[in-house]
Amino acid sequence: MNPQAPKPVHTVQIDPEKLAGLYATVGSNLTRCGLPPGQLNEILAGNISAVCVSCGLKLGGEELGRLALSRDHPDPGNEKFSRLRLGYCGRNGCESRLYDVHFTEHSPIDWKRMLEPVEDSSAPQEAPPAPGAPIPGRSSFSKHALRWGLVLAALGAAIYVTLIYTEGRIPLIQPKHHYTIDPSSAKHPVKQTPP
């Protein structure tokens, strides 16, 4: 039988782009407590996890550690970490902007007391902000599509105005039309007034 995962004793809700900073802060706070590096890595890997509030994507302690280490040297090939650094869920297509960070019980550590200064700096906003930038990897509308659409609309308008101005001919290719009407071809003769 698989042992059940321990229940979290403390949970913090933060924005995805703050996950790396939270993990790094917890690591430095644990280091100040005098924990040896081996025990520190074990605690961080086994007692911290983050879960997307919308899609449930779980990031374990080891993954959060790699995210924190990649802050200074980001890997452009890792789309999940790129999305997290931009403030989006790591799962492509999920538009959530909040993660629950769970801390499971570890006897010498009081997570709530240790995280008090961290929680103040990373408290979530009342409502997640509307996306100002496109979500990477999203197949829907983006800034580039809007720009290209505007360029093509301007080009189409310029062509339309040119065709109206040049009487439907293609400039520099078709000669200008010179129409004249023969007065004798008119059905009603035009009376000419003497000078």
Whether residue 118 is predicted with pLDDT greater than 70 in this model: the reply is no
pLDDT, residue 3, reads 53
Whether residue 105 is predicted with pLDDT greater than 90 in this model: the reply is no
Whether residue 124 is predicted with pLDDT greater than 50 in this model: the reply is no
- Give residue-wise pLDDT tens across range 28-80: 777 777 777 778 788 888 888 899 999 999 998 888 888 888 776 666 778 88
The CA-atom distances, in angstroms, between 47 and each of 9, 40, 41, 59 are: 10, 10, 10, 12
* Sequence-ordered alpha helix ranges (H) in the chain: 19-32, 37-47, 61-69, 79-85, 111-121, 143-165
pLDDT, residue 191, reads 66
d(CA 135, CA 195): 78
pLDDT, residue 113, reads 65
Query: pLDDT-derived band of residue 126, with 50, 70 and 90 as boundaries?
Result: very low
- Give residue-wise pLDDT tens across range 133-174: 445 554 445 667 888 889 999 999 998 888 787 777 777 777
User: Which of the residue ranges 79-93, 103-117, 129-143 would you say has the lowest mean pLDDT?
Assistant: 129-143
- Give residue-wise pLDDT tens across range 1-36: 345 666 777 788 989 888 888 888 888 777 777 777
pLDDT, residue 152, reads 93
